[in-house]
A and B are shown apart, each in its own frame.
Chain A
Amino acid sequence: MSGDHSDAPIAARVRRMEHLLEQRGLVEPGVLDETLAAFLNRATPMNGARIVARAWTDPVFRERLLVDAQAAIAGLELSMGGGLRVQDLQVVANSEDEHNVVVCTLCSCYPLALLGPSPTWYKSEAYRSRVVREPREVLREFGVDLRPEVGIEVWDANSEIRYMVVPNRPPGTENLTEEQLAALVTRNGLIGTALV
């Protein structure tokens, strides 16, 4: 393997790599910043939150979402193409007696298009190693204290399928609009490390 023999700060080494790739015509100057701005603008947890709010208010949509997520989210003009590339999606829903939580133990697979860039803890060895083995303890560290009779289903995103969680709709939200409901949904709720 080619070792990196530079002591220069990483920022300078990245600039150097980018400059050389521009010289080779593999990267166009300025395009990276445009791509990034477009990505950050498009890929945010608000996408996932919109999907959840619709699933909470529309049982037919919810059913379709759990069977064929990609087709269902197309109806909201969302797609899984907003990240690195188009990804497959499976959506899993919490219930009164089951809680879902998502991890990628091998790297950091994550539904970028629907949740935006992933948090550092999601990519950490601590989370990746522990949540498959002791999810109840990990969830407790996130402040999610599940009753012992609530089963936990961990999803390891080790293939090209990405997972997103539909949290339980909080009680007392019957009169909220879909938009107000979406505002309740957090990124961690979509990963399964928060209740909503």
Chain B
Amino acid sequence: MSRINDVGGVQGFGELVVEQDEPPFHADWEAHVFALNTALLRKRIYHLDEFRDAVERLPPAQYLAASYYERWYLAIRTLLVEKGVLDAEELDDVHDG
């Protein structure tokens, strides 16, 4: 059961889409997900291999539908909940959307 991230040599993903003059991040939240992950790795809340594992454990349909940094957010969320750092309920308690 290779995981959904293991795409080397898999056929059918189609043509490359290359964005010209792409910015480092497309939105503030992407940059913040990147920085949050850096901070949590540095604080040893989780290990990089655990983070990769959490990305790969996303259900395949969700993995493929999500953007790159959405995957990261979901993986960080998984690890924070699994490690008892935050509750799923409080993470979902979002009112300012």
Please list the residues of chain A having a beta carbon within 8 angstroms of any beta carbon in chain B.
Answer: 1-18, 20-21, 24, 26-27, 31-33, 35-36, 39-40, 84-85, 103, 105-108, 116-117, 119-121, 123-130, 132-133, 138, 141-142, 156
Min CB gap B45→A, angstroms: 7
In the complex, the answer to whether A15 meets B64 with C-beta atoms within 8 Å is: no
In the complex, the answer to whether B74 meets A4 with C-beta atoms within 8 Å is: yes
In the complex, the answer to whether A4 meets B32 with C-beta atoms within 8 Å is: no
- Inter-chain contacts of B45 with A (CB < 8 A): 26
- Inter-chain contacts of A105 with B (CB < 8 A): 6-9
Which 5 pairs show the lowest CB-CB distances between chains A and B?
Answer: A105-B8, A8-B97, A12-B97, A8-B94, A11-B29
State the CA gap A146–B32 with chains docked (Å).
40
In the complex, the answer to whether B86 meets A21 with C-beta atoms within 8 Å is: yes
- Inter-chain contacts of A103 with B (CB < 8 A): 8
Please list the residues of chain B having a beta carbon within 8 angstroms of any beta carbon in chain A.
Answer: 5-11, 13-19, 22, 24-25, 27-29, 31-43, 45, 48, 52, 55, 57-59, 64, 68, 70, 73-74, 76-78, 80-82, 85-86, 88, 90-97
State the CA gap A129–B15 with chains docked (Å).
11
Output the nearest chain B residue to A11 by Cβ-Cβ distance. B29
State the CA gap A3–B74 with chains docked (Å).
8
State the CA gap A33–B36 with chains docked (Å).
10
- Inter-chain contacts of B58 with A (CB < 8 A): 1
In the complex, the answer to whether B41 meets A156 with C-beta atoms within 8 Å is: no
In the complex, the answer to whether B7 meets A128 with C-beta atoms within 8 Å is: yes
State the CA gap A33–B17 with chains docked (Å).
30
Could you give 26 example pairs across A and B, Cβ below 8 Å? A5-B88, A6-B91, A7-B97, A10-B70, A13-B73, A14-B32, A14-B73, A15-B29, A15-B96, A17-B77, A24-B86, A39-B38, A107-B55, A119-B19, A120-B17, A121-B18, A124-B13, A124-B17, A125-B7, A126-B13, A129-B7, A129-B9, A130-B16, A133-B8, A141-B16, A142-B18
In the complex, the answer to whether A6 meets B74 with C-beta atoms within 8 Å is: no
In the complex, the answer to whether B91 meets A18 with C-beta atoms within 8 Å is: no
In the complex, the answer to whether A6 meets B17 with C-beta atoms within 8 Å is: no
- Inter-chain contacts of A16 with B (CB < 8 A): 91, 93-94, 96
In the complex, the answer to whether A13 meets B34 with C-beta atoms within 8 Å is: no
Min CB gap B52→A, angstroms: 6
